[in-house]
Every structure is written in C-alpha cells, then in structure tokens.
Structure 1
Amino acid sequence: MTNLASPMETTEISDTELDSVSAGLATAGSGGLCLESPIGDIAGDILAVGSTEGLTAGAGFHTTAV
C-alpha cells in the first residue's frame, strides 16, 4: 500500500498570533427558568455572546400541557 498524502509541516504559534486567527477573546452568558405544575410545564432560556466580531443573542420558550 502506498501513502499518497503529502507530508504536513507543523510550526508553533504564539498566543497573540492564535488570538488574531481565532478572532480574539469572547464572553458569554446564559440563564434559564423551568416551572412545573400538575397541569403543565413552562420553560425559557436566554443566551448572549459578545466578541470583537459582534454580539449574538437568542431566546427560547417551551410549554407542555398534560
């Protein structure tokens, strides 16, 4: 069997270089709430992520009736 893949070169990269390649630093937060009762459940959640690229946010809501 012959390996047709070309050899791969590797090199070390500094943290600063890695930050510029991976879009830098980011921060995130999330939360949720779930209420249960004999007649049904209600659940909701939120999520927000901010980085040097911008801000992303989302929310979800779910109900279940017996």
Structure 2
Amino acid sequence: MNLAPQVETVELSESDLDSVTGAGVTAAGSGGLQLETPLVGLCADVAAVASAEGVGSAAAVHTTAA
C-alpha cells in the first residue's frame, strides 16, 4: 500500500487569480492591547477588513487572574 500523499500542480492564469482574489481594492486594520499586573493580565485584539466583496471584523479579549 502506498501511503505517500498525492500532489497535483496546476498553472493559474491572471484571470483565474483575479476571480479568486476578487481583484478589488482591499483595506485592513488591526490593533491590540496587552496589560499585565501582578494580579491581572488583559489581552485584547481587534481586526477589520473591507473589500469590494464585503466587510469583516473580529474582536477578542482574554483575561487571567492570579
């Protein structure tokens, strides 16, 4: 039994890449905050992306206590 993974390569044209990437204008931004004290730790992250296809955002907060 041959358990080696099968890999196939394919050439993509510029128009193929445009259809995958959207070929539109994209803007993104992100930021984060990390605060640590002897009693508490706080980490917060935010991210946002806007393109011709739509808008996406994410936020996360993580805390630790001693």
Distance in 2 separating the partners of 1:21 and 1:40: 44
Instruction: Tell me the TM-score normalised to structure 1 length.
Output: 0.69
The residue correspondences of 1:47-66 to structure 2 (distance < 5 A) are: 47-66=47-66
Structural RMSD (CA) = 2.0
Write the deviation string for residues 10-48 of structure 1: whole angstroms up to 9, x where unpaired: 66623xx23234212322111000000000101101000
Matched, 1:20 2:24: no
Instruction: Tell me the TM-score normalised to structure 2 length.
Output: 0.69
Q: In the alignment, is the contact (CA less than 8 A) between 1:48 and 1:56 conserved in 2? A: yes
Which contiguous aligned blocks of 4+ residues in structure 1 show a shift greater than 4 angstroms?
A: none
Unmatched tracts of structure 2, length 5 or more: 1-7
Distance in 1 separating the partners of 2:58 and 2:47: 5
Larger radius of gyration: 1
